[in-house]
């Protein structure tokens, strides 16, 4: 079986913490894959807000072009996820965001997942891809 491989940059410049909620836990007793994507969405919003950026403005904003996720361990109710985030692979129309989710349990850091989302700037009025603004390029490159 072929496996997804994500080459995460060594340095991810931003971190945020998100607690696991009861609604994130599935019938297997651990954080579900759908919840991981939702948690990554919240982490991305936190990352953008820290730079003074909004995921969506009145006319343009980001749209997710792709997502890849590799599970490394299980997350459980009451875990606090530490999510390291950074952007790379900036193009005229978008960039990739990389994520590393860890938690501390019993004094040990546990790797939960690594992920990447391809983000494209999008014109929501005309329903087409748009150029990434210079302000965004400068902020996510820093």
pLDDT for residue 57: 85
Question: Which residues of the chain have a pLDDT value below 70?
Answer: none
pLDDT for residue 142: 78
Q: Which domain holds residue 39?
A: 14-141
pLDDT for residue 111: 98
Would residue 98 count as lying in a domain? yes
Task: Using the Cα atoms of residue 64, residue 111, residue 72 and residue 3 in order, give the sign of their dihedral.
Answer: positive
How many structural domains is the chain composed of? Answer: 1
Q: How many whole angstroms separate alpha carbon 122 and alpha carbon 64?
A: 9
The CATH code of the domain that includes 29 is 3.10.129.10
Q: How many whole angstroms separate alpha carbon 99 and alpha carbon 15?
A: 9
CB 9 within 8 A of CB 88: yes
Would residue 33 count as lying in a domain? yes
Would residue 82 count as lying in a domain? yes
Q: How many whole angstroms separate alpha carbon 52 and alpha carbon 138?
A: 12
pLDDT for residue 61: 94
């Amino acid at each position: 079986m072929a496996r997804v491989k994500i080459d995460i940059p060594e340095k991810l410049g931003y971190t945020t913490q998100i607690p696991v909620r009861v609604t994130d836990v599935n019938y297997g007793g651990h954080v579900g894959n759908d919840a991981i994507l939702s948690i990554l969405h919240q982490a991305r919003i936190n990352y953008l807000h820290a730079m003074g950026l909004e995921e969506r403005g009145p006319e343009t904003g980001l749209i997710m072009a792709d997502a890849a996720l590799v599970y490394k361990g299980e997350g459980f109710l009451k875990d606090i996820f530490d999510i390291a985030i950074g952007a790379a692979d900036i193009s005229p129309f978008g960039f990739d965001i990389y994520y590393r989710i860890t938690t501390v349990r019993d004094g040990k850091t546990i790797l939960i997942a690594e992920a990447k989302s391809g983000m494209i700037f999008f014109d929501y009025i005309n329903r087409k891809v748009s150029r990434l603004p210079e302000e965004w390029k400068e902020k996510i490159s820093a």
